[in-house]
Amino acid sequence: MRRNFERDREVNRLLRAKGWKVIRVWEHDLRRKDEPKLVRRLIRPLGKR
């Protein structure tokens, strides 16, 4: 798991350096009870254009 986290951070850095906005969604973020929180997390960066 630690290696996945480190790899994700490196990929995020590379993508941001190329001008991308990165939103990483983990499988456990997809639980129904967390849906409102996830939706807010996805919408927030889209509003800052």
Structure tokens at 17: 């350096």
Please report, for the chain, the start and end positions of each structural domain, with discontinuous segments joined by +. Answer: 22-49
- How big is the chain, counted in residues? 49
pLDDT tens readout for residues 1-49: 789 889 999 999 999 999 998 988 888 878 888 888 888 888 988 786 5
Integer Cα distance of 17 and 21 in angstroms: 10
Which pair of structure tokens corresponds to residue 34?
A: 């967390």
pLDDT of residue 14: 98
Closest CA to 22 of 14, 12, 8, 31: 12
CA atoms of 19 and 31, how far apart (whole Å): 30
